[in-house]
Amino acid sequence: MQRAGRTFSESWHRVAGLKVSLRPTVKVRKQMFRGETWYVLHDPFNNQFFRLRPEAYEFVMRLRPDRTVEEVWGECLDRHPDEAPGQEDVLQLLTQLHFANLLYFQMPADSAKLFERYRKRRQREIQSKLLGIMFFRLPLLDPEYFLRRLMPFLKVLISPIGAILWLVVVIAAGKQVVDHFDAAMDQIQGILAPDNLLLMYVGLVVIKSLHEFGHAMVCKRFGGEVHTMGVMLLVFTPLPYMDATSSWSFRSRWHRALVGGAGMITEIFVAALATFLWARTGPGTLHSLAYNMMFIASVSTVVFNGNPLLRFDGYYILSDLLDIPNLYTRAMRYLRHLVERYAFGYKDSYSPARTYREAFWLSTFGVMSSIYRVVVFTGIIFFVADKFLLAGLVMALICVVSWGIVPVFRFAGYLASSPRLARTRTRAVVLSVSFFSVLLSFLAFCPFPNRFRAPGVMEAVQFVRVVNEAPGYVKAVLAPSGSEVLAGTALMELSDRELEIEMEAALAQREETLAMERRALRMEKADLEPIRKRLEAIESKLKDLLEQQANLMVKARKSGIWVAPEVQNMVGAWIPRGSVIGQIVHHGEFRFSAVVSQDEAADLFVGKIRKAEVRMYGQGGENLDVADYLIIPFQQERLPSAALGWRGGGEVPISVRDETGLQAAEPFFQIYANVDPASGALLLHGRSGKLRFSLNPRPLLLQWAHKFRQLLQKRYQI
């Protein structure tokens, strides 16, 4: 990798005669990164940290108020001619130390300038917070004194004994979740219910407060100091936070990584304790609060804190384990170096990566984190807009300004005035304008394939559903699934003990009534008429019971293939009247029944379809041509198969009030596409797949704009 800095600089005269030194309050600690030595400067006055390479520290440690910068640089050059920093390095180093308020100038106005720089730095921090409206921080207290009093307890808690205790509790809690898995899955359905939101927020505050104290306690345990705790507005939600930057000075990278992971470790432990409380309490406030703490700890740990692409705990752990301090900043500097050196031709640009392995990590992290941040912020904006449309619009406007307009103006200013491009400015401007022009033209004018897909199921044109006409327990399966049956073939035999008892009672009543009729014929003919009416009623009831008894034998109404995959599991089960037991399919002619959302339906009715083809799941690379299709010109609400809905593993949202899984959450249009059975593909009734429509090619920019307009219309009626 290229080393930084030139031996001589045109701006050297500006600092050569200065007499400076490190401020007396600055503390120095030695660290090892990737087997290399670094020195960390820490000023408790402004809580600033600065890392130096050994050759840079050799220069800085020799700075004194009675010696000029040029004298110190000359001494370093005499002692270490191969490793001494160049004048360009010294200029950059002094500039960074100056803005970090780590340098002492022996001048009367130095104190005033010190506080002026501190004031300007605070102003920049406040401006940054205002721009980062979704992550605003407000410091409230200094927990250092409290943590010092806890040190004897922390030495026992944060030790191998504490680790064993944590592991035992978490494993035991995991067993509780497994034992009550069904109850846990059922309760998750109401996690966003209005009456649960307050408990969720209370659980969130408790979990995150303990999360931050976990960071603080581990940081203090290994010798760090924590002077700031406060409240952070995360997407307008008040949450606690703390500042553990003193862990940057730890010599052991494992200690630094443990500080980064302490919050997640604490959350998991608290969630384990909440699991025991949840498992041993009945429905109520305490039971729901414990479940919310379990849910919040698991989701926040996996999705947010453990994700290294966001600057939360996972990011700092990754930075420590890779031994790459300031990972995000250095990644952005490395990407800038690649552009300046290889695109703009600035030969004096140097890489912040010292090895090819480090360059790989910096480039990969820089690209992935930039993309992921945009995705996450966009998701947050839509989430907020779903709840508070005005707040979402304000956040979207701020993001457009901060991600779009401001970077454009900064980049234009960089191209126009950056001294780094003094000799290659024309090349940089021409290349930048050409790149963005080509990119915009490519997206706006180059046609791309334009398709959309509709989920559906394959259906035999001739098929009937087999339902039972009478309720009962399944006594025996007379025809196995997959067998070919004729009309009238017995498929299943049911039994109903209550029906048998009613039959016996009806027969007994009939015999009794017949006996009464014979007696009336001999003795009391006046009673004959009511007895005969009673006999008619009993005969009618008996006829119905005999019909129900006959219906206990389920028979095929048509000839075909008997399809009932779960029929063997029904033996002994009670089946209500009218239940769908299976289907009888005639494997001759097939059609694909697909559902099209309202967003895509407009293209169906304007004649833009160029081609339609079906691809079944499990038949990769084998498409079925569609000869013709029929669009049902009115909206549907019931799916052709439960396999298309969320409850059946499909992608179509279904109504939460419908237990059958057939009632769609939104109306849709249905299409019947005729498929040729002679295509050679394996066509099975009920098999799911996708119907793909190819439209006229359109540029990507127009396709994205169309999708975005549909999104706004569907979600916000804009």
Q: What is the mean pLDDT of residues 236-241?
A: 68
Highest averaged pLDDT of the listed ranges 255-259, 320-324, 584-588: 255-259
Q: Which segment of 55-69, 421-435, 681-695 scores lowest on mean pLDDT?
A: 681-695
Q: Strand order in 237-242's β-sheet? A: 135-141, 229-234, 237-242
Highest averaged pLDDT of the listed ranges 41-50, 297-306, 591-600: 591-600
Share of the chain above pLDDT 90, in %: 4
The answer to whether 506 touches 542, Cβ cutoff 8 Å, is yes
Q: Which residues contact 35 (CB under 8 A, 6 or more apart)?
A: none
The pTM of the full predicted model, rounded to 2 decimals, is: 0.61
Residue 434 confidence (pLDDT) = 94
CA quadruple 383, 387, 391, 392: dihedral sign: positive
Distance CA 459, CA 628 (A): 15
Measuring CA to CA, which residue among 232, 259, 261, 258 is closest to residue 246? Answer: 259
Residue 164 confidence (pLDDT) = 92
Residue 440 confidence (pLDDT) = 92
| pLDDT tens digits, one per residue of 1-14 | 334 445 666 677 77
Per-residue burial over 705-714, b = 16 or more CB atoms within 10 Å of its CB, e = otherwise: eeeeeeeeee
Residue 131 confidence (pLDDT) = 47
Residue 427 confidence (pLDDT) = 92
| pLDDT tens digits, one per residue of 521-577 | 777 666 677 888 888 888 888 888 888 888 888 888 878 778 777 777 888 888 888
At residue 441, does pLDDT exceed 90? yes
| pLDDT tens digits, one per residue of 149-184 | 888 888 888 888 988 999 999 999 989 888 888 788
Strands (E), 398-518: 447-467, 472-477, 484-485, 490-495
Strands (E), 89-221: 103-105, 135-141
Q: Where are the alpha helices (DSSP H) in 64-143?
A: 69-79, 87-99, 110-131
Which helix (H) or strand (E) is 427 found in, with range? helix 425-445
Measuring CA to CA, which residue among 34, 29, 40 is closest to residue 321? Answer: 34
Residue 168 confidence (pLDDT) = 93
Q: What is the mean pLDDT of residues 220-241?
A: 74
Residue 433 confidence (pLDDT) = 93
Q: Which segment of 204-218, 493-507, 626-640 scores lowest on mean pLDDT?
A: 626-640
pLDDT category of residue 493 using cuts at 50, 70 and 90: confident
At residue 701, does pLDDT exceed 60? yes
At residue 415, does pLDDT exceed 60? yes
Q: What is the mean pLDDT of residues 648-675?
A: 78
Q: What is the mean pLDDT of residues 429-447?
A: 92
Distance CA 183, CA 293 (A): 16
Which helix (H) or strand (E) is 621 found in, with range? none
Q: Which residues make beta-bridge pairs with 583?
A: 465, 563
Highest averaged pLDDT of the listed ranges 32-41, 426-435, 552-561, 618-627: 426-435
Q: Where are the alpha helices (DSSP H) in 558-690?
A: 598-601
Distance CA 688, CA 705 (A): 31
Averaged pLDDT of the chain:
79
CA quadruple 286, 287, 290, 291: dihedral sign: negative
Measuring CA to CA, which residue among 717, 718, 715 is closest to residue 382? Answer: 715
Residue 439 confidence (pLDDT) = 92
pLDDT category of residue 437 using cuts at 50, 70 and 90: very high
At residue 125, does pLDDT exceed 60? no
CA quadruple 97, 101, 105, 109: dihedral sign: positive
At residue 127, does pLDDT exceed 90? no
Residue 2 confidence (pLDDT) = 37
Q: Which segment of 59-73, 275-289, 452-466, 696-710 scores lowest on mean pLDDT?
A: 452-466
The answer to whether 631 touches 704, Cβ cutoff 8 Å, is no
Residue 36 confidence (pLDDT) = 67
pLDDT category of residue 607 using cuts at 50, 70 and 90: low
Q: What share of the chain is helix, strand, coil (3-state, %, to 5)?
A: 55, 20, 25
Residue 1 confidence (pLDDT) = 36
CA angle, corner 442, sides to 439 and 446, nearest 5? Answer: 175
Q: Which residues contact 678 (CB under 8 A, 6 or more apart)?
A: none
Distance CA 311, CA 627 (A): 54
Question: Given the DSSP bridges, would you call strands 580-596 and 472-477 parallel, antiparallel or unpaired?
Answer: unpaired
Higher pLDDT, 328 or 388: 328
